[in-house]
Amino acid sequence: MKKSRVGILMGVLILMLVTMGCSSLVDGKWAAKVNGESIAIKDYDDRVAAAQKTYESQGMKFDTDQGKQALTQLKSQILDRMIEGKLLAQEVKNLKLNTDDASIKSQEDTIKKNMGTDAKFQDTLSQQGMTEAELKNFLTVYSKQTQDVKQPTDSEVQAYFNKNQANYGEPESVTAHHILLKTEDEAKAVIAQLQAAEKNKQEILPLFEQLAKEKSIEPGAKDSGGDLGTFTKGKMVQEFETAAFAQKVGTFSATPVKTQFGYHVIYVQAHTPASTSDFAKVKTQVAQDAFNDAKDTKFQTYFDDLRKKAKIEYAKGYQPAS
């Protein structure tokens, strides 16, 4: 249910929806061609299946109406990523770049470290339709195209801070538990049980945790009691986030909250407002962020131009939605 959050470079990857497909032609069946190079249907199907499996392991259900919509979007995104990735793979070859450079390995190691575990790293790659070799391709081209970006001046750093103050300091956050059910009726039954306990002046949180262990279909709920810890905006799916941040502290959901994962009953334990940091205390970090932003902007301009000039063909049934 939580959205993956990673280091700066991996964040660039996800926001740009870039993957590098090194497909081979299989039985003459291709989904798309990029400057004459084919993306095989088999390779595309394999990537979709791998991404789907990873999402399902996290509780995503693709057999619901919302899930079917999400799967259609996922398929479209993966093909688009493979197309863009093919362009970058071609650039590695055309520019004769070395993907085994020590600096590239260092960047990849940093991403792995930020992900926490190798399993989390591999799951994130799978969700994005990528392999480690393809990640190295991206890092190599990114480094080449942004190597001449200069460090920002003091005035540029101050301007960046003024524009992005919300990113420095403590963002608004919520501490919550939840119980995930398959059906709305099951969720309503849990709410009714909690309401009865509330009328009898029973302490709610211990009961909520017990019900999560007994009834929640979320993987790990039997151990966590539905504890989600503290999270900021942008970490949860939109429907869940909207409900959690609007709910009063010490209360549970009055009605079930529907997402693509099922029906949630939420208990909000704490809600902390946002606070702003003093510029002097965060200047070093702001300078680094401004520098990274300048590199991202330059790379995006380069990549947009690369795609604009490319010759991209789609097989019947694989054209992007208009």
pLDDT digits (tens, 9 = 90+) for 58-70: 888 999 988 999 9
Q: Is the domain of 263 the same as that of 297? A: no
Q: Is the domain of 14 the same as that of 58? A: yes
pTM of the predicted model, to two decimals? 0.63
Q: Is the domain of 76 the same as that of 147? A: yes
pLDDT in tens, 129-148: 777 888 999 999 999 999 99
Do 192 and 310 contact (CB within 8 A), yes or no?
no
63 class by beta-carbon count within 10 Å (0-12 exposed, 13-18 middle, 19+ buried): exposed
Q: Is the domain of 196 the same as that of 135? A: no
Q: Is the domain of 30 the same as that of 129? A: yes
Whether pLDDT at 177 is above 60: yes
Q: State residue 163 phi and psi, 5-degree precision.
A: -80, -25
Query: Three-class SS of residue 318?
Result: coil
Residue 165 lies inside a defined structural domain of this protein = no
Pairwise CA distance, residues 226 & 176, whole Å: 8
Q: What is the domain extent for residue 215?
A: 172-273
pLDDT in tens, 266-308: 999 999 998 888 999 999 999 999 999 999 999 999 999 999 9
Residue 320 lies inside a defined structural domain of this protein = no
Q: Which of 12-38 are b and which e, b meaning 16 or more Cβ less than 10 Å from the residue's Cβ?
A: bbeebebbbbebeeeeeebbbbbeebb
Q: Is the domain of 127 the same as that of 236? A: no
Q: Is the domain of 48 the same as that of 64? A: yes
Whether pLDDT at 212 is above 50: yes
Q: Which of 41, 5, 23 is nearest to 85 (CA)?
A: 23
CATH classification of the domain holding 300: 1.10.4030
Residue 299 lies inside a defined structural domain of this protein = yes
Whether pLDDT at 8 is above 70: no
| pLDDT, averaged across the chain | 89
Q: Is the domain of 44 the same as that of 176? A: no
320 class by beta-carbon count within 10 Å (0-12 exposed, 13-18 middle, 19+ buried): exposed
Q: Report pLDDT for 126.
A: 85
Q: Report pLDDT for 26.
A: 41
Whether pLDDT at 315 is above 80: yes
Q: Is the domain of 30 the same as that of 143? A: yes
Q: Is the domain of 106 the same as that of 204? A: no
**Into how many domains does the chain fold?**
2
Residue 321 lies inside a defined structural domain of this protein = no
Pairwise CA distance, residues 221 & 203, whole Å: 20
Torsion-angle region of residue 227: left (phi > 0), alpha (psi -120 to 50) or beta? beta
Whether pLDDT at 21 is above 50: no
Q: Is the domain of 219 the same as that of 285? A: no
Residue 322 lies inside a defined structural domain of this protein = no
